[in-house]
Amino acid sequence: MKKNINAIILAAGKGTRMKSEQPKVLHEILGKTLLGYVLDAVNKTDLIEKSFVIVGHQAEDVSKFVTENYKTASTVLQSPQLGTGHAVSMVCPELENFEGEILILCGDAPLITEETLKKFIEFHKNKKSDLTVMSTVYENPTNYGRIIRDGDNLTAIVEEKDASPAQKKIKEVNAGIYCLNWQKIKPVFSKLTNNNSQGEYYLTDIISWGVKCDFNINVYLLEDNEEVLGINSKADLAEATKLLNQKTINKHLENGVMIVDPVTTWISADTQIGSDTVIYPSVYVTGKNKIGKNCHIGPFAHIRGGVELGDNVKIGNFVEVKKSKIASNTNACHLTYIGDSEIGSDVNVGAGTITANYNHFTKAKSKTVIKNGASIGSNSVLVAPVEIGEQAVIGAGTVVTKNVENKALAVARVPMKIIENYVKS
């Protein structure tokens, strides 16, 4: 397939039911925003040339997120916010001369996968469709727009608040994802009306317009309805987090990772894990990470993103690692914080070690480097920026404030004093 496809992602809503000052699409699941999941799914199809993200509520924050993280995406402001149909019409000037397909989807549906989007686009093209709608089936379809058919033919999508009692019994619902032949469908957006209970311009009304114009309209039925779960509340967010985590854990189990207790283990979708690695209970992994083969993680470990572990690495109980690279055969087994660090192979990091990497006053984070074969004694503090040489030894309880050469011993302690007869009988 040629890359003559653009995407429009609807991300302007306030998300009132989230009861939050934060934009709904910037809420996170395991260290990644809802909008980030959607944009990544779109980009991973390798079919989309450019994405247009419609912003509205707290547009500045959402725009900043998009521009800082996605080179192939830009934002378009919808103000005022007059409905989903109005939102798409905001992109019409940008796409005036575009000839190809437009994929439309919601920025608050983080479980959608690139595989499903690929199949959806392929279905649209194979049908030579002018307009394709994705649908799915829910036993409880409350709050979803209903798919109205005449036989097998789609005739309309009716929103919940405008549906009749009979229509509300329909279990096939609009999944909120569309593929359009843009030049053919584009004129419809200037003809939408807001004659409905919400007083909004509905995107779903393009279906009834398409029927009147005798367009080739098709429905792609998605079997896995979990993929199009929309996030409208913190309860939805918690449910989506659980569903996504279970899918991620199942994938790792199939690939040879041993997860001792899937119920208490949380692993981000962007974390790679090698075979024969063991993840012990109550491990929490967020962000994007790469964990090698035959590692042992946890129990009660926290990996916070930007972490790369080589093979045979041990990250033990109550150890936190963030934005660090740790080479093979290195151990950090107990009660340790490793942040903004580069640690070589065959290093032992003793219990209670801290890489002090953050300057509270300047907000700067500095790097700690520990080279191959070094030994870090328990309860040491490594004040970054600092470098520990190969096979160097840091005595227990040492505060390291300057570089330590290869094979050197660094000890910095207050001499112990013993006061005899301190306790009076």
- How far is Cα 389 from Cα 334, in angstroms, rounded to an integer? 22
- Run of H or E residues at 271: strand 271-273
How far apart CA 283 and CA 123 sit, in angstroms, is 40
Structure tokens, 119: 């199949």
DSSP symbol at 65: H
DSSP, collapsed to helix, strand or coil, labels residue 323 as coil
Q: Which entry of 27, 57, 334, 360 is annotated as an active-site residue? A: 334
Beta bridge partners of 136: 173
The span from the CA of 29 to the CA of 239, in Å, is 10
Is 334 an active-site residue? yes
Whole-number Cα distances in Å, 30 to 124, 288, 301: 33, 10, 15
CA distances from 420 to 346, 413, 415, 424 (A): 43, 21, 16, 10
Contact 226/246 with Cβ under 8 angstroms? no
User: Position 205: which residue type?
Assistant: D
* Tokens 């005449």 belong to residue: 150
CA 368 to chain centre: 28
Question: Any idea which residues carry the catalytic annotation?
Answer: 334
